[in-house]
Structure 1
């Protein structure tokens, strides 16, 4: 037997119904901090550090994406 249930609600309503915390103020603060850093001229080292923290598997993830971008760039130049 298969039962489908469709719920029509906003993401905010779903979050509240499931009892999940509201991280909107923290997210807005974080985005504002990133925008300020970028406007001031973020250094390549800062960008690399951010990418490492966001990438899955840390350094291995960054290496994977770097290789992928390198390979895609070589194909376009030829």
Structure 2
């Protein structure tokens, strides 16, 4: 037996229905801060430096961030982080 229910609701209506907090003001504030930093430093714009305060400490270096992404993608493909598809080490 299959039951299919189609709902038409905005994301805000669903968050309210499920009792989730309204995070739109926080998102708007963060985006404003990011925009200000981007505009004030357009000459030497560096996205990694811009996002560093918003990342957890263990992902603040670009190498750690790349390794984290690689490990996540590899795990999703059923491989270990240091192995290539052919089974050899990097």
- Determine which structure has the larger helix proportion and give its number: 1
Instruction: Indicate the RMSD between aligned Cα atoms, in angstroms.
Output: 2.7
Q: Distance in 2 between matches of 1:61 and 1:40?
A: 30
Query: How many residues matched?
Result: 59
Superposed displacement of residue 16, structure 1? 0.5
Structure 1: gaps (5+ residues): 65-78
Alignment TM-score, normalising by the size of structure 2: 0.53
Match of 2:20 in 1: 20
Moved more, 34-43 or 12-21: 34-43
Structure 1 runs of 4+ with >6 Å offset: none
What runs of 5+ residues in structure 2 fail to find an aligned partner? 71-90
5 Å-filtered alignment, 1:1-78, equals 1-41=1-41, 43-44=45-46, 47-49=47-49, 50=51, 53=55, 58=59, 59=64, 60-61=67-68, 64=70
